[in-house]
Structure 1
Amino acid sequence: MREFSVPALTEPPTHGGLAESVFATAVADPGLAALSRRTEDGGWQTVTAAEFRDEVVAIAKGLLHQGVRFGDRVALMSRTRYEWTVLDYALWTIGAQPVPVYPTSSAEQVRWILADSKAVACVVEHEDHAMTVGSVVEGLPELRSIWQLDAGALRALALAGRGVPDDLLDRHRQAVTPESTATVIYTSGTTGRPKGCVLTHANFAAETDNIVARYHDVFQNKASEQPATVLFLPLAHVFGRMVQVAALRAGVQLSHEPSLAPADLMPALESARPTFVLAVPYIFEKLMQRAREAAEEAGKLAPFEKAVDAAVRYAAAVERHAFGDGPGPTAAQRVQHQVYDRLVYSKVRAVLGGRVRHAMSGGSAMNRELGLFFAGAGITVYEGYGLTECTAAATANPPDKPRFGTVGHPVPGTTVRIAEDGEVWISGGQVFQGYLDDPEASRLTLRQGWLATGDLGHLDEDGYLTITGRKKEIIVTSSGKSVAPTVLEDRVRSHPLVAHCMLVGDNRPYIGALLVLDAEALLRWQRQRGKPDQSPATAARHDPDLQAELQRSVAMANTAVSRAESIRAYRVLPGEFTEDRGLLTPSLKIRRRAVAKTYSDDIDALYASSPA
C-alpha cells in the first residue's frame, strides 16, 4: 500500500455558500468583466460583476415567488449556456439544490432522476425537452413547475420576483452554510441506475480554491490582461460545474459555448480568445487532427509531421531537465523550435484564439505524445483525474513539473492511496457526502473517510499517479490472463483514422478489438490516395492499404504490453459509437455492456477463426 499527500493551500470556508463569491466580487470590483454572453449576431457582450449579481438576485426572488424554498431540488436540463450559470447561483443564493440532467437524456432517464431527487421544479432549454418531461410528469407527484429557457423563463421569473422583499431573500441566503448541499449530480451510469452524488458547498470550495491557489499563473489576473476561459464542457457534468465555480471565485471572465462540434467550438474559441481552456482529451485530439488535415490539404504534411516530432522532442527534453535527467533542449533543438513556432505552432494556437498558454484535461486518459506536442507548441496541458464523487479533480500535474502520460500529484488538500488490490482511494475536503437515499452504495464507496474509486493505478516514486484501468473493466481471458484495456485502447485510438477502440476477450482465448473509424477522416484519406469512397466496414474488408494502416496501429499499440495481453485480432464495425445510440455516456465514455450487446455477432465473428 502506498500513499501520497499534498497539504492544502487554503482554509475551508467557515460560513456561507458558493453564491457569496458573487456578492463579494460585486462589492469589491463591481465593474469587473465577470462573464461574457452571446449576442444575437454571434458576438460577445460583457456582463459585469454587479450586473451578474443583480440578475442572480432577480432570479432568486422569482424562484421564491414560485414557491422554491431552502433545501428544495430543481432540475436543470440544458446545454451549457449563460442562463444555467445564472440559475445555479440564484438557486444557491436561496439554499436550493440544482440537479443537472443531460440534455440528451431519454424520457426514462429523466423520469428516474426527477423521481429519485424529488425535484419540485424543472428548467428545460427548449420545447423538445419540455415534451420529454411532460411525457413522464404523471409519475412525478413532487414536480410543480416546468420553465423553458427559450420561452423566456428567466425574464418571467425576474418579473414575478419584483414584489419579493429583500429580507426574505436574505433569510434564505444567511441559512446557507458550507455543509449545506449544493447540488446532486447523477453519475452517467455506464452500468446500472445512475446514483445521485450529494456535493456540498464546502466540497466545491475545497476543490476550486486549492486548484486556483496551486495554478496561480493560470487563474490569477496579470497586470496586462484578465484571465478568460470558454466553458464548453457540459454543465451537467461535474467537471463543467467545477470550471464554472472556479472561474467566478477567481475573477476569470467566463464565456459559454453549448456545442462540442469542432465547426461550432473552434470559431467560438477564436472569437472569445480565452487565456486557458479546460477540456477532455477528445478536444485536443480533434484540434490535432484538424491541424494535420489542414497541412495535408495544403500539401505540407511531411513538414507538419517534422514539426510535430520536433515539438515532442523539445518538450521531452524540457521535461527530463525538470526532473534532473538532462541539460534540456540542445542549441539545435531551440533554433528548430523557434522556426517551427513561427511556421506551425503559432497557427495551432491561433485556432484557440491566440492567447491560450495553459490547458487542463480530464475525463479520460490523454496520450503522452499528444501532451508533449502541445507543450512543445506553447500550450501546456495539465492532465488530471477525478470523479463526480470527489467534485472533479483529485489529482493534476503540477504547473512547475508536469509528467506527461500521468495524471499528476494529488491536488492540494488531498491524499491518494493505492490499496492492496491496486484500487485508487482518495481522501480530502472535496470527497462527497454519499449517494442520495442510498446508504448501502455509500457504505461500499466511502470506507473510513476514503473514497474507493473503482479505478486501478499506481504511484511512482515522485508521487505521480498513473491510471491503468477500472476494476470492473478488467478482461479475463479463458487462459486466466487479466488485462486492463485502457492502455491499448488509448494507443490504438491515437491513430487519426480511429474514432473508438474497445477491447474484448472475457472468457475468450485472446484479446480482440472492436474499431470504429472516423468516417470524415477516412473519406479524406481515400480521396487523397485516389481511392473510391467506401464505408468504413467495406473499406476495411476490401482495401489492403487500409488493412495495413490499421494493422500498423495495432502493432504499435501492442509494443506497450506482453504478447498475452496484446491484440491478436480486430474488427471494424459498421456503425458509430454515439450517445444517441446508447453506446457512449454524455461524458463520451464507452458503455461497454451496451456495445458488447449491440455487436455480439461481430464479437462472435472476431473469434470464429484463429488469428494470424
Structure 2
Amino acid sequence: MHTSGTTSAPKGVQIRRHGLDELLTSLRARTRPEIFERYLSIVPLSLLIEQVAGLYMPFLAGGSVSFLPPGTALVGTAADAAPRMLTLLRAARPTALVVPPTVAGLFLALCDQQPAESIPERHRRIFGHDGPVFVACGGAPVPPEILQRLDAYGLTVHEGYGLSENSSVVSWNFPGAVRFGTVGRPLDHVRAELAEDGELLIRSTSLFAGYTREDPSSVVVDDQGRLHTGDLAEIDADGYLRITGRKKNLVITAGGRNVAPEWVEARYRELGFVREAAVVADGLDQVHGLFVIDAGLDPATARREITDFGRRKLSGIERAAAVHLMSEDDPAYATCFTVTGRPRRDVVRAHVLKQPRTPAPAAARPRRRLDISPS
C-alpha cells in the first residue's frame, strides 16, 4: 500500500495479511453485518480506510458497494455539492459510507433545510430510505458543535483515527459508543498509551511489516513493539482518544509557545462558510491562516467574520493575525489541500508568503454575524 511521503515519491507500506485479518476481526466485533448491506464509496480507493470500509467489510457482510459514475467529481469538493450529494445518496440508498470532514457541514446544511421533519422523513429525503445509516469520518477533526447538532437531527457522524502503518483503523466511535470530540476507543487488538511529550504510542497485532523505502515522514516501532504515531493525543478515563495535532506540525510562536494547528483549524471551521482552514507560523513573524470560503461570499465580510471569530474564540497566540482567502475553484486549492481536506503545510506556507498582506480589520461594533446556529 503506497502512501504519500515528504518527497515526490510515495513510500510503500507493507501490510501483513495476518494484520489485516486482525483488523477486520476487530471491526466486525464492533459492527453489525447489516450496517454494510449497501455501501456508497465517495472517496478514493487509494485511501486504505476506503479499501477496508468500502470493499472488505461489505464483502465479508455479504453486502454491495456502489461507486460514483465515471467522471463524477468527489463529493464535498465544490460549493454546489449539497444538491449533487442528494442525487447520489438517494440513488444509492446507502446504509454506510465514509466521508471527508467537509461533508459533515454539507449534511448539516441539508438537515437545516427542514428542521421540523421527523428522523425517518429526514433519512428518506437525504438517503432515500428511512433505515439507519452509519456515517464514518476521519482525516481531520469535525467541530463538536456540528457533530452534536447533526446527532440532534438523528444523523450521527462517527469520527475515527487510523494510519497505514496499523493497516488503517486504530480507534473509532461506533453506534452506542460515541463521544463527540474524540476518535473513539481503540479496537480490541490495539493498546494505546502516551509518551511523556504526549505522543500517541500503539501496540497492535496489525502493525505493518516495514516500508519499501524510508523518508523523513516514516514512523518507527521501538524495541518494546510500540509504534510512534507522530500524533499528539489525550486519553480520557474511559479510554476514548482525542487527537490534538501532529507533533511535527506544532506551530512555534515568536514567544516560544507551542500551538497545535489542527485544533485551531477545527475551531475556524465552526464558521459555516469556512470549508477548509490551514494555519502556519514557523519561521514567520505572525500566524497566517489560509481559509477556503464559500463561492460568492464577499471577501471583506468573510475576512471580518474570521478576524472577529478569532478574537472571541481563540487566544492571542492561536488566532490568525494574517488572513488569506481562497475559493474551491482556485487552481491553487488542489495543491494546498489533499482530497480529504488535509493541508499540505509546506505548500500553504509558500502560498501565503506570496500573497499581499492585508491588515486585520479593526474590532467591529456589535452587529449581526454570519454563523450556522439554528434560528
Q: Is TM more than 0.5 here?
A: yes
Shift of 1:269: 1.7
Q: Name 1:480's counterpart in structure 2.
A: 256
Shift of 1:469: 0.6
Aligned partners of 2:189 and 2:204 also within 8 Å: yes
* 2:10 aligned counterpart, secondary structure: coil
Partner of 1:409: 185
Q: 1:605 is matched with which residue?
A: 357
Describe the SS at the equivalent of 1:245.
helix
1:279 to 2:99 alignment: yes
Kindly tell me the number of residue pairs found equivalent between the two proteins: 351
Structure 2 equivalent of residue 551 of structure 1? 307
Label 1:384 to 1:507 Cα distance change in 2 as closer, same or farther (>3 A). same
Match of residue 65 from structure 2:
254
Listed one character per residue, the Cα deviations across residues 209-262 of structure 1 (whole Å, up to 9, x for unaligned) are 21111122xx348xxxx8221122211111111111111112222222254233
The answer to whether residue 315 in structure 2 is matched with residue 582 in structure 1 is no
Determine which of 109, 120, 135 is the counterpart of 1:289.
109
Contact between 1:498 and 1:517, CA under 8 Å: does it hold in 2? yes
Decide which of 106, 122, 146 is 1:347's aligned counterpart. 122
Shift of residue 408, structure 1, vs aligned partner:
0.9
Please give the secondary structure, in 2, of the residue aligned with 1:519: coil
CA offset at residue 566 of structure 1? 3.2
- Whether contact under 8 Å (2:111, 2:153) holds in the other structure is no
Match of 2:5 in 1: 189
Indicate the structure (1 or 2) with the bigger Cα radius of gyration. 1
Could you tell me how far 1:578 is from its partner in structure 2?
6.2
Alpha-carbon RMSD across the aligned residues, in angstroms, is 2.9
User: 5 Å matches for 1:454-603?
Assistant: 454-519=230-295, 522=297, 539-541=298-300, 545-558=301-314, 562-573=315-326, 581-602=334-355
1:95-133, CA deviations, whole angstroms, 9 ceiling, x for partnerless residues? xxxxxxxxxxxxxxxxxxxxxxxxxxxxxxxxxxxxxxx
SS in 1 for 2:14: strand
Residues 552 and 347 from structure 1, CA distance in 2 versus in 1: closer, same or farther, beyond 3 angstroms? Answer: farther
Distance 1:413 1:352, change over 3 A: same
Per the TM alignment, residue 587 of structure 1 is displaced from its structure 2 partner at its CA by: 3.0
Other-structure match for 1:208 = 24
CA–CA distance in 1 between the matches of 2:21 and 2:97? 20
Asked if 2 retains the 8 angstrom alpha-carbon contact of 1:291 and 1:348, the reply is no
Question: Are positions 1:237 and 2:47 aligned together?
Answer: yes
Aligned to 2:221: 446
What is the one-letter code of the residue matched to 2:309?
Answer: S
C-alpha displacement at 1:187, in angstroms? 1.5
Partner of 2:200: 424
- Give the match's secondary structure for 2:209: coil
Q: How many Å separate the matches in 2 of 1:577 and 1:592?
A: 17
Q: Within 1, Cα distance between the matches of 2:320 and 2:124?
A: 36
Could you tell me how far 1:574 is from its partner in structure 2?
Answer: 7.0
- CA displacement, residues 43-93 of structure 1 (integer Å, 9 cap, x when unaligned): xxxxxxxxxxxxxxxxxxxxxxxxxxxxxxxxxxxxxxxxxxxxxxxxxxx
TM-score (normalizing by structure 2): 0.83
1: CA distance, partners of 2:120 / 2:278: 32
Corresponding residue of 2:142: 366
Q: In 2 relative to 1, CA 420–349 (structure 1 residues): closer, same or farther, beyond 3 Å?
A: farther
Residue 514 of structure 1 contacts residue 571 of structure 1 at CA under 8 Å; is this kept in 2? yes
- Provide the C-alpha distance between the structure 2 equivalents of 1:365 and 1:434, rounded to a whole number of angstroms: 28
Q: CA 1:500–1:359 in structure 2 vs 1: closer, same or farther (change >3 Å)? A: closer
Kindly report which structure 2 residues correspond to 1:276-355, keeping only aligned pairs within 5 A, or say none.
276-292=96-112, 295=113, 307=115, 340-342=116-118, 346-347=121-122, 350-354=125-129, 355=131
Report the AA paired with residue 283 of structure 1. V
Give the 3-state SS of the residue equivalent to 1:588 in structure 2: coil
The structural deviation recorded for 1:439 is 9.6
**Distance between the aligned counterparts of 1:212 and 1:189, measured in 2?**
30
Distance 1:516 1:475, change over 3 A: same
In structure 2, how many angstroms separate the alpha carbons of the residues matched to 1:516 and 1:437?
Answer: 34
Structure 2 gap segments, 5+ residues each: 76-80, 364-375
Quote how far apart the aligned CAs of 1:496 are: 2.1
AA matched with 2:58: A
* Residues 441 and 588 of structure 1: CA distance in aligned 2, closer, same or farther (over 3 Å): closer
- In the alignment, which residue of structure 2 is the partner of 1:182? none
Q: Matches of 1:269 and 1:349 in 2, distance apart? A: 10
Change (3 A) 1:578 1:206: farther
Instruction: Indicate how the Cα distance of structure 1 residues 511 and 579 shifts in structure 2: closer, same or farther if over 3 A, else same.
Output: closer
* Residue 189 of structure 1: how far off its partner (Å): 3.3
Note if contact 2:288-2:352 (Cα within 8 Å) is conserved in structure 1: no
Deviations 1:561-604 (A, max 9, x none): x43333344232477566874222233311110121123133x7
The DSSP-based 3-state class of the residue aligned with 1:514 is: strand
The alpha carbon displacement at 1:491 in A equals 1.6
**What residue number does 2:78 align with?**
none
1:393 lines up with 2:146 in the alignment? no
Q: Matched residues in 2 for 1:281 and 1:351: separation?
A: 18
The whole-number CA distance in structure 1 between the counterparts of 2:280 and 2:317 is: 14
Task: Specify whether residues 581 and 370 from structure 1 end up closer, same or farther in structure 2 by C-alpha distance, changes over 3 A only.
Answer: closer
Q: Would you say the 8 A contact 2:190–2:205 is kept in 1?
A: yes
3-state SS in 2 of match to 1:420: coil
> In 2, are the aligned partners of 1:209 and 1:246 still within 8 Å (CA)?
no
Deviation at 1:499, TM superposition (A): 2.0
- Unpaired runs of 5+ in structure 1? 1-184, 296-303, 308-339, 523-538
Describe the SS at the equivalent of 1:189. coil
Return the offset for 1:376.
1.8
Contact 2:101–2:142 under 8 Å retained in 1 = yes
Offset, 1:409:
0.4
Aligned amino acid, residue 122 of structure 2: K
Which residue of structure 1 aligns with residue 372 of structure 2?
A: none
CA distance in 1, matches of 2:172, 2:281: 32
Distance 1:441 1:290 in 2: 38
**Mean Cα displacement is larger for which, 199-208 or 484-493?**
199-208
On the 8 A contact 1:419/1:425 being kept in 2, the answer is: yes
Match for residue 111 of structure 1? none
Q: Percent identity?
A: 28
Once the two structures are TM-superposed, the CA of residue 470 in structure 1 deviates from its matched residue by 0.5
Relative to structure 1, the CA distance from residue 573 to residue 405 in structure 2 (aligned partners, 3 Å threshold; closer, same or farther) is same
Look up the equivalent residue of 2:127 and give its one-letter code: L
